[in-house]
A = this chain, B = another copy of it.
Amino acid sequence: MPSRAVSLRNRPVGMPTPDDFQVLEVDVPDPGDGEVLVENVCMSVDPYMRGRMWDRKSYVPPFQVGETLTGGAIGRVVKSNDPGLPEGEHVESRFGWREAFVAPAAELRRIGELEAPASAYLGVLGMPGMTAYAGLLEVGALQDGETVFVSGAAGAVGSAVGQIARIRGCTVIGSAGGPEKAAHLTEDLGFDHAIDYREGNLLARLREAAPDGIDVYFDNVGGEHLQAAIMCMRPNGRIPLCGAISQYNATSPVPGPNNLSMAIGLGLTLRGFIVSNFNHLRADFVRDMTAWVKSGELRYRETVFEGIDRAAEAFIGLFTGVNTGKMIVNLEA
């Protein structure tokens, strides 16, 4: 079956451009024994993927030029050679930027009955939602009623972080780029305070929003945000380090926060994490998050690009702030 997939044409240097990517025709074979043919409904582009485009050692090997890019996708089984995974089932895969693929049924996660639109399983009910849940509750050791600050707060992870904190009775401050996103935080998502960091004076505005200090800072961006947050942390505060999107396209090393030694006197904990180490929380996550989404307590927004031809554009948009909520590439006609 003819299909299409996206790979790197060359490794991006600094901010990626559409020319760094190529959409290629590929042939998808018939499924063999124990395999299924899946047509993707939608695919995910995520900031962490930028790290894998550099040629360097990391916790996952780098993408190779010409090799189809991998990442989360939700698809439907259209042909099955595995009795345990019949046609029509929805599955989550990590094979990424392609319209269709064949894989052993055992390598796919069955979603079961959809409790929300399929794309939600790439966002609030998928990896970004799980990242928010594990990062805030376990890494951040959140206590009810604390003061929480989250950066990248209009993004897929950040918007879930802020809302989980709100549900847990916390005072929630979010930072995002631009007045529309800031308004979205307080008007749609129930944040207590929103900071449009593009207006400048981040530290002064954070102090104003959190005059008694911050207990948990969920860091999606690094850089100036991390430094400002450290200035405002309360004793024994926790800083889950989830992402550093401000630095992903940097072509030379970026200095760290110049106030890190404040962590000593304040007894701060900065803890980096990747979501794949928190599978022990998966059942709790599915139960809580599904309930919150169905009850409307936790809302989500998506920014959708249509068709695999626009996948590169969607990905690049993550770094220029195009998306509010989860960035989705829709692959259904």
Contact = CB atoms under 8 A, between A and B. Distances in A.
Contacts of A271: 263, 267-271
12 contacts: A244-B260, A253-B259, A255-B256, A256-B256, A263-B272, A264-B272, A267-B271, A267-B273, A268-B272, A269-B269, A269-B272, A271-B271
A261 B263 CA distance: 16
Contacts of A243: 264
Contact of A265 (B58, B263, B264): B58
A155 to B, nearest CB: 16
Contact of A235 (B59, B247, B256, B262): B59
Contact of A253 (B59, B258, B269, B270): B258
Contacts of A270: 260, 263, 269-271
A277 interface: yes
A257 B260 contact: yes
A266 interface: yes
A244 B267 contact: no
A111 interface: no
B222 A266 contact: no
Interface residues of A, number: 35
Given A253-B259, A256-B258, A257-B260, A274 B265 contact: yes
A241 interface: yes
A58 to B, nearest CB: 5
A267 B277 CA distance: 9
A261 B247 contact: yes
State the 10 A-B residue pairs at the shortest beta-carbon distance, nearest first.
A256-B256, A263-B272, A255-B255, A253-B258, A59-B265, A244-B261, A264-B272, A256-B260, A270-B270, A269-B271
A242 interface: yes
Given A255-B256, A256-B258, A266 B235 contact: no
A18 B235 CA distance: 34
Contacts of A268: 271-272
A254 interface: yes
